Amino acid sequence: MKKFLLPILFLLSITGYSQSSELTVIGNNKGVPAQLSTSNLKSIFMGNQPKWSDGSKVVIAMMKFTTEGGKSTCSKLYQKSTTDVTKHWLTVSMKGVIDAPVFFNTAAELQNFIANTAGAIGVFDGTVTASTAKTVLIDGKRSF
């Protein structure tokens, strides 16, 4: 029995991990472009771009780092630990060029915020359900 159970549990754990590591980027219809490269996205989420090309303010929305989506964002987008990303944003926001990200407990809250906030862009693990927000393609893909 053990011979059959262990491989099945292993496969299930791999499947669950791969699904949770897929991240989706969504943006408000005002200001946020329809497509970005991975390097542009990282630059925006590092706080290097305070305004969109139309002049509207960049507002970053993220899942709290205690959530799986928040942890995935730190490792996949920033390639840093949650502690290091927190330190980074403390430093960046103290300079006053761009505000620190707005954090959410659920993907639904994040999507609602983005749909109602001009210039907002966010990343989360899941699919877009807010009809007034758009999926931002990253290197031509709906998720990364």
Confidence of residue 3 (pLDDT cuts 50, 70, 90): low
| 3-class secondary-structure state, position 95 | helix
- What residue ranges define each of the domains in the chain, with the CATH number in brackets? 21-138 (3.40.190.10)
Helix (H) or strand (E) holding 70, with range, is: helix 68-73
Cβ distance 86 to 94 under 8 Å? no
Cβ distance 24 to 125 under 8 Å? yes
pTM summary value: 0.82
Specify the amino acid at residue 45: F
Query: Do β-strands 120-124 and 59-63 pair in parallel, antiparallel, or remain unpaired?
Result: parallel
pLDDT (tens digit per residue) in 36-93: 999 999 999 999 999 999 999 999 999 999 999 999 999 999 999 999 999 999 999 8
Cβ distance 127 to 22 under 8 Å? no
Q: What was the pLDDT predicted at 128?
A: 81
